């Protein structure tokens, strides 16, 4: 008789029992305080104002430990601005990990630059520092680092390579809200950071993002690219003492040189101020629950939690899209897709990794954004850094060697033990799936 629900056995959970609204999973946590803060912006008719956004920028700068923060309408916009600020332009190259969300690097194409994709490390799933240096050429302007699925990238190694070659480091901290790297917040370590705060991310404000930097020059460039006068500081654009000190930009004051209006809206900023108050304590609870859950995962054959070693000084913050390494060879060759389907039939909510390797995507290889009759990746005299299938084996294989599961927001041992038992049931009865 079949044990597994996918073959007609009894399911481990009732249908809908593990839905996203149960307290163990419910995220983001919004209370009346959040609702009132947003409503107040509407009542004050201040949706396009700047006061609350300025307050949020200041509070977030303090939280993350950066001198300057600018609010954006999206993470995508913040990353494009960060690239432009670092000097990325026509004919240039950026280096980025292949396994990430497209917004990490797609902005480079609309700046006329090419993306030279690097492979990822099979343990951290972040850009592999060993696959960076040989990719640096005369037109490489930036290395973009993603703290993938909340796991901090190897910043010491990456910063050392960047400094040696005089290349900027852009952190994409969209997955790593609250994650620490050796005593510092991820997002406060590189030259500049772009970070998403859209609804699906750990710090969820709707559609929003930020840049963070300690570099006044990069901050000014970001203002000049898409912020014009509404930052408040930039109101000095039109004062006798001009804010922008970059001689290249000073006479453009008042009109964004990027022709963009990328500012964060105040509903998001108001929500952000309330969320920030409670975020550290919520992160601490998630950390406690997820470490316990991962200890359970690590007892099962073929599974290994995606997390830094406990004594590494690295943490995963709010554990965005938490992942588990999956080793099909240790499970008689059972493909991850079949494992996921069987768990889902038990009414367990795990899923496939949502990203895929980007280096073979036509946008980075064929798209002719400027109608020049050739791919933008080549059109401004770049070297051809395009790569085909097979070039970055770890990034290509990882979606078949991992699965994701929801964050658990507080330590509930019986709840977590039962979830681990459900995974154990599928593993134990995998013979049923291999027939
Ligand atoms: C979500 C995400 C972005 C883009 O952020 P948006 O706010 O959706 O524009 C960028 N990089 C990564 C890694 C992301 O996951």
| Percent of the chain topping pLDDT 90 | 89
Which atom of ligand 1 lies closest to the CA of 208? Answer: 7
**DSSP, res 229:** G
Q: Are 179 and 200 in contact (CB under 8 A)?
A: no
Residue 74 Cα, ligand 1 centroid: separation in angstroms?
8
Q: What is the mean pLDDT of residues 313-318?
A: 98
- Phi, psi (5° rounding) for residue 173? -100, 30
In tens, the pLDDT along 286-299 reads 999 999 999 999 99
Q: In which band, very low, low, confident or very high, does the pLDDT at 237 lie, cut at 50, 70 and 90?
A: very low
What does the pLDDT read at residue 24?
A: 98
Report the relative pairing of strands 93-97 and 114-118 from DSSP bridges: parallel
**Lowest-pLDDT choice from 44-58, 119-133, 184-198:** 44-58
- Using a 10 angstrom Cβ sphere, with 0-12 exposed, 13-18 middle and 19 or more buried, the burial of residue 62 is exposed
> How many Å apart are CA 133 and CA 200, to the nearest integer?
33
What does the pLDDT read at residue 267?
A: 97
> How many Å apart are CA 128 and CA 121, to the nearest integer?
5
Q: In which band, very low, low, confident or very high, does the pLDDT at 357 lie, cut at 50, 70 and 90?
A: very high
Contacts of 101 (CB under 8 A, 6+ apart): 174, 355
Which residue's alpha carbon is at the smallest distance from atom 6 of ligand 1? 75
Residue 99 pLDDT more than 90?
yes
Q: Are 33 and 19 in contact (CB under 8 A)?
A: no
Q: What is the mean pLDDT of residues 82-101?
A: 98
3-state secondary structure 109-133: HHCCCEEEEECECCCCCCECHHHCH
Helices (H), 32-151: 32-43, 51-64, 75-85, 107-110
Residue 246 pLDDT more than 80?
no
- Token duo for residue 44: 């004050």
Pocket test for ligand 1, best of 73, 94, 103, 323 (most atoms within 8 A of CB): 103
Tally helices (H) and strands (E) across the chain: 13, 12
Q: What is the mean pLDDT of residues 184-195?
A: 98
Which atom of ligand 1 lies closest to the CA of 200? Answer: 1
Pocket test for ligand 1, best of 72, 126, 148, 172 (most atoms within 8 A of CB): 172
What does the pLDDT read at residue 224?
A: 85
> How many Å apart are CA 126 and CA 118, to the nearest integer?
10
Which residue's alpha carbon is at the smallest distance from atom 5 of ligand 1? 75
> How many Å apart are CA 365 and CA 359, to the nearest integer?
8
In tens, the pLDDT along 114-140 reads 999 999 999 999 999 999 999 999 999
Farthest-apart Cα atoms in the chain, separation: 83
What does the pLDDT read at residue 238?
A: 37
What does the pLDDT read at residue 194?
A: 98
Which amino acids are annotated catalytic? 201
What does the pLDDT read at residue 240?
A: 38
What does the pLDDT read at residue 50?
A: 83
146 lines ligand 1 (CB under 6 A): yes
Contacts of 187 (CB under 8 A, 6+ apart): 64, 66, 147, 171, 173, 176, 193, 195, 212
Residue 318 pLDDT more than 80?
yes
Residue 315 pLDDT more than 70?
yes
Q: What is the mean pLDDT of residues 44-72?
A: 94
What does the pLDDT read at residue 161?
A: 98
What does the pLDDT read at residue 234?
A: 46
**Mean pLDDT over the full length of the chain:** 94
Residue 175 Cα, ligand 1 centroid: separation in angstroms?
8
**DSSP, res 265:** P
**Lowest-pLDDT choice from 168-172, 247-251, 307-311, 332-336:** 247-251
Return the half-sphere exposure (C-beta side, CA atoms, 13 A cut-off) of residue 58. Answer: 9
Residue 172 Cα, ligand 1 centroid: separation in angstroms?
8
Q: What is the mean pLDDT of residues 27-56?
A: 94
Residue 78 Cα, ligand 1 centroid: separation in angstroms?
9
Reported pTM: 0.96
Pocket test for ligand 1, best of 75, 187, 358 (most atoms within 8 A of CB): 75
104 lines ligand 1 (CB under 6 A): yes
What does the pLDDT read at residue 229?
A: 60
**H or E element at residue 269:** helix 266-297
What does the pLDDT read at residue 180?
A: 98
Residue 291 Cα, ligand 1 centroid: separation in angstroms?
25
What does the pLDDT read at residue 404?
A: 98
- Other CB atoms closer than 10 Å to residue 413's CB: what's the count? 11
Q: Are 353 and 403 in contact (CB under 8 A)?
A: yes
In tens, the pLDDT along 381-410 reads 989 999 999 999 999 999 999 999 999 999
Contacts of 71 (CB under 8 A, 6+ apart): 53, 56, 57, 208, 209, 210, 263, 264, 268, 269
Q: What is the mean pLDDT of residues 64-83?
A: 97
What does the pLDDT read at residue 239?
A: 41
Helices (H), 187-265: 216-226
101 lines ligand 1 (CB under 6 A): yes
Whether the upstream peptide bond of residue 28 has omega within 30° of 0, thus cis, is yes
Residue 333 Cα, ligand 1 centroid: separation in angstroms?
33
Q: In which band, very low, low, confident or very high, does the pLDDT at 31 lie, cut at 50, 70 and 90?
A: very high
Which residue's alpha carbon is at the smallest distance from atom 7 of ligand 1? 75
150 lines ligand 1 (CB under 6 A): no
Q: Are 78 and 207 in contact (CB under 8 A)?
A: no
What does the pLDDT read at residue 96?
A: 98
**Rg value, the chain, Cα:** 23
Buried b (16+ CB within 10 A) or exposed e, 20-54: eeeebbebbeeeeebeebbeebeeeebeeebebbb
**DSSP, res 347:** T
94 lines ligand 1 (CB under 6 A): no
- Token duo for residue 118: 């690097």
């Amino acid at each position: 008789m079949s044990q597994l629900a996918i073959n007609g056995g009894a399911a481990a959970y009732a249908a809908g029992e593990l839905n996203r609204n149960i307290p163990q999973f419910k995220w983001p946590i919004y209370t009346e305080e959040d609702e009132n803060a947003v409503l107040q912006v509407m009542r004050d008719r201040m949706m396009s104002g700047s006061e609350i956004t300025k307050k949020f920028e200041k509070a977030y700068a303090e939280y993350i430990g950066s001198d300057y923060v600018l609010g954006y309408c999206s993470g995508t916009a913040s990353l494009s601005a960060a690239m432009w600020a670092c000097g990325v332009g026509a004919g240039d190259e950026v280096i980025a990990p292949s396994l990430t969300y497209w917004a990490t690097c797609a902005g480079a194409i609309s700046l006329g630059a090419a993306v030279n994709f690097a492979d990822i490390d099979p343990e951290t799933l972040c850009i592999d520092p060993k696959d960076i240096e040989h990719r640096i050429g005369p037109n490489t302007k930036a290395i973009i680092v993603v703290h993938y699925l909340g796991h901090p990238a190897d910043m010491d190694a990456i910063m050392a390579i960047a400094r040696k070659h005089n290349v900027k480091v852009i952190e994409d901290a969209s997955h790593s809200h609250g994650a620490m790297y050796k005593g510092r917040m991820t997002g406060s370590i590189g030259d500049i950071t772009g970070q998403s705060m859209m609804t699906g991310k750990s710090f969820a404000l709707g559609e929003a993002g930020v840049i963070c930097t300690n570099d006044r020059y990069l901050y000014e460039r970001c203002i000049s690219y898409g912020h014009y006068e509404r930052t408040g500081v930039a109101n000095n654009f039109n004062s006798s003492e001009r804010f922008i000190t970059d001689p290249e930009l000073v006479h453009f004051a008042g009109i964004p040189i990027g022709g963009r209006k990328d500012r964060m809206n105040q509903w998001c900023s108001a929500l952000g101020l309330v969320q920030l108050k409670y975020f550290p304590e919520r992160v601490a609870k998630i950390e406690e629950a997820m470490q316990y859950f991962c200890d359970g995962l690590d007892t099962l054959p073929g599974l290994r939690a995606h997390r830094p070693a406990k004594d590494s000084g690295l943490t995963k913050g709010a554990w965005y899209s938490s992942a588990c390494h999956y080793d099909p060879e240790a499970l008689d060759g059972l493909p991850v897709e079949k494992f996921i389907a069987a768990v889902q039939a038990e009414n367990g909510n795990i899923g496939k990794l949502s990203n895929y390797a980007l280096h073979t995507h036509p946008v980075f290889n064929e798209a002719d954004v400027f109608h020049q009759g050739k791919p933008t990746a080549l059109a401004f005299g770049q070297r051809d850094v395009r790569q085909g299938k097979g070039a970055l084996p770890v990034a290509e294989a990882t979606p078949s060697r991992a699965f994701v599961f929801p964050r658990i927001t507080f330590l509930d041992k019986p709840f977590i033990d039962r979830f681990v038992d459900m995974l154990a049931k599928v593993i134990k009865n995998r013979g049923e799936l291999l027939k």
